[in-house]
Structure 1
Amino acid sequence: MDGSTTTTVTPALGMSRLSQLVDQFGRHKHKLRISLTDRCNFRCSYCMPDTPEWLAKKDILNFEELLQFCAVMVRLGIRHIRLTGGEPLMRQGIVNFVHDLNHLKAHGLQRISMTTNAFYLQKYAQGLKQAGLDDLNISLDSIHPDTFKDMTQRPLEPVLRGISAAQQAGIPIKLNCVLVAGKNDHEIVELTQWAYQQKFELRFIEYMPLDQPDHWRAEKVITEDEIIQKLRSHFQVEIQARQHDPATLYLLNGHYKLGIISTISKPFCQSCDRLRLTATGELFSCLFANTGTPLRHLLQQPDLSLLQTHILNAVWHKKAGFIEHQQAPTRKISMHAIGG
């Protein structure tokens, strides 16, 4: 088991508001998503291969390496770190790691988040809050047990218990729902009404062509405009100005925030400010990139200047994104291991 780490963090002196992590299109990166593990106990078809092959433990970055990487990235301008997977709560030592990440808040880090399926959250919610986790994104594709089981191959009840535990712990929650035609699109209004009543911010995500080209079909995508059309008959809907958030934000009834991540129908690549690190230490500048930049060997060197050079170079060469090529990536790594 990985325990707490004691890596020394050098303060970020003279840091400007704009990140040093800038690409050739002038997009500054302030957000980092870290995949802590490729393992997941869910089997969502839009994310997980039919026959997943798990990484060996020795191939995954340990927490000391991860903290060292995060310290470098914060010095370069990262302000928000999101822990993902796979399922991050399957990684032993996760609470201690969140605690250690909090030390970076003295050097420029502003927020630590996690994306989880909430299956194990009941066990960890209080510890994560005490460790300093700022918020949670919870995957919830349906509030109907049958639909949920069909989409994830897992029962809904432990997820609802996890959500309740996070509420009791005082951790702010957003819900993520991937919409797939013929699976859960008939529940758009009902899920929105449930989230509205529970005061959880909800984000619908268009079904993206990631790593499962045999599964993905354009006709399975429920677009942003289709979602809004369904909601307008039940809510007063007002669009908000887009910032760097991947979601288009709407206000329902003048106060409830709803987001739609419309990668397919309305790509938002021109405002992208995020990077991704895989569990094995590859830096991906784009969710749709075919290759990443291996960094683990550089983390193991006493002088981290070469690591910084590789990071800055990889970010600079970030391509335009899905908005440019409009197709699924061709790569060995799958969505469940890239920390989408």
Structure 2
Amino acid sequence: MTMAPETPALIDPFARAISYLRVSVTDRCDFRCTYCMAEHMTFLPKADLLTLEELDRLCSAFVRMGVEKLRVTGGEPLVRRGIMTFFRAMSRHLGTGALRELTLTTNGSQLTRHAEELAECGVRRVNVSLDTLDPDKFARVTRWGRLPQVLDGIRAARAAGLRVKINTVALRGFNEDELFRLVDWCGSEGHDLTFIEVMPMGEMGEDLRLDQYWSLEDLRTRLSERFSLIELADRTGGPARYVRLAQTGQRIGFITPLSHNFCESCNRVRLTCTGELFMCLGQEDRADLRAPLRRSSEDAVLEEAIRAAVSRKPRGHDFDYSRRAVSGQMSRHMSHTGG
């Protein structure tokens, strides 16, 4: 049974209850995916990052205020030193019933090391970013990644009892030819699969973004040439919309921030590893929570800052690729806010 929040729920100006927090625990990653970050990134000084204890205090404040789902992201969250200490700390909220789900998004590279302990902390499912099953193409899109390492990590997660959902960014001219291969592989392995439209984030240049953009409308049309798509009302607390493939029973998700945005039902905010709260992935407005966190040991001060930030949450973002032009582009890299 989910416990009621200890303080009044977080409600934004459009009457949306904020029940989902995505927290980036590091901006560092052992990959350099082309749509996420530059090859030669300048990462934050470690001194600028919130400590694991500070992340605990911040996330616990959100849980008290009604957050029921906590997703840990990066960068690559599992490369942060001591990160399992944070997962163990957050697991206490699962024990009380205040937190309904503790999960993470990962590139899979470190799952072989950490899958069993994640399961012991109460993590029940993980999202693994995987855009291709071709080792050469995988090396090209991740720059530094090795596909066998990720596949080993996925197997370790399954062996530990974790459900795996594969997140695939739809990239025109890159993985269009693998649409059915990815669907078939996920079906044979028992993984759910979600396709994501590439978003205009990071200083990559308009031409590259437009060249990469593959509308999920087109992807769905191609999928329907082989499968009958049954619309589902499933919701997992995130932005995906789901169909079931009648022929195989598989569930396929679509995250469409550009062709069909999902802002009207947005229930989430994003906390960076430096304590900035982004109320919308597609807007630059942010709130500094590190200052009140460090200024006072009184949680009431922190909760007041969180509530003030949520009161500025916009109706939606401005991402748009229509008319072959990028609108609403964000200069920060995706790794900064954790996706």
TM-score of the aligned structures, taking structure 2 as reference length: 0.91
Q: What is aligned with 2:310?
A: 315
Equivalent of 1:294 in 278, 288, 297 = 288
Is residue 217 from structure 1 mapped to residue 216 from structure 2 by the alignment?
Answer: no
SS in 2 for 1:177: strand
Is residue 79 from structure 1 mapped to residue 73 from structure 2 by the alignment?
Answer: no
Is residue 46 from structure 1 mapped to residue 39 from structure 2 by the alignment?
Answer: no
Q: Amino acid of the residue matched to residue 188 of structure 1?
A: L
What CA distance in whole angstroms lies between the structure 2 residues aligned with 1:330 and 1:151?
A: 21
Is residue 268 from structure 1 mapped to residue 262 from structure 2 by the alignment?
Answer: yes
What CA distance in whole angstroms lies between the structure 2 residues aligned with 1:293 and 1:320?
A: 17
Q: Specify whether residues 176 and 97 from structure 1 end up closer, same or farther in structure 2 by C-alpha distance, changes over 3 A only.
A: same
What CA distance in whole angstroms lies between the structure 2 residues aligned with 1:325 and 1:228?
A: 19
Q: Amino acid of the residue matched to residue 185 of structure 2?
A: W
* 1:219, distance to aligned residue in structure 2 (A): 4.7
Q: Amino acid of the residue matched to residue 74 of structure 1?
A: V
SS in 2 for 1:32: strand
C-alpha contact 1:136 1:174 (8 A) present in aligned 2: yes
Q: What is aligned with 1:7?
A: none
What CA distance in whole angstroms lies between the structure 1 residues aligned with 2:250 and 2:3?
A: 39
TM-score of the aligned structures, taking structure 1 as reference length: 0.91
* 1:166, distance to aligned residue in structure 2 (A): 0.4
Aligned positions, number: 327
Q: What is aligned with 2:130?
A: 140
C-alpha contact 2:318 2:328 (8 A) present in aligned 1: no
Q: What is aligned with 1:4?
A: none
Q: What is aligned with 1:191?
A: 182
Q: Specify whether residues 141 and 324 from structure 1 end up closer, same or farther in structure 2 by C-alpha distance, changes over 3 A only.
A: closer
What CA distance in whole angstroms lies between the structure 1 residues aligned with 2:256 and 2:287?
A: 27
SS in 2 for 1:322: coil
Is residue 130 from structure 1 mapped to residue 124 from structure 2 by the alignment?
Answer: no
Q: Specify whether residues 132 and 179 from structure 1 end up closer, same or farther in structure 2 by C-alpha distance, changes over 3 A only.
A: same
Q: Amino acid of the residue matched to residue 288 of structure 1?
A: G
Choose 235-244 or 80-89, whichever is displaced more: 235-244
Is residue 252 from structure 1 mapped to residue 241 from structure 2 by the alignment?
Answer: no
How do residues 225-244 of structure 1 correspond to structure 2 at under 5 angstroms?
225-241=217-233, 243=235
Identity %: 35
Equivalent of 1:174 in 161, 165, 172 = 165
SS in 2 for 1:265: coil
What CA distance in whole angstroms lies between the structure 1 residues aligned with 2:266 and 2:317?
A: 11
Q: What is aligned with 1:9?
A: none
Structure 2 gaps, min length 5 = 322-326
* 1:247, distance to aligned residue in structure 2 (A): 1.0
Q: What is aligned with 1:201?
A: 192
C-alpha contact 2:10 2:18 (8 A) present in aligned 1: yes
Structure 1 gaps, min length 5 = 1-11
What CA distance in whole angstroms lies between the structure 1 residues aligned with 2:40 and 2:288?
A: 25
Deviation track 1:284-310 (CA, whole Å, cap 9, x = no partner) reads: 111112132111121121212221111
Q: Specify whether residues 275 and 144 from structure 1 end up closer, same or farther in structure 2 by C-alpha distance, changes over 3 A only.
A: same
Choose 246-255 or 172-181, whichever is displaced more: 246-255
SS in 1 for 2:253: strand
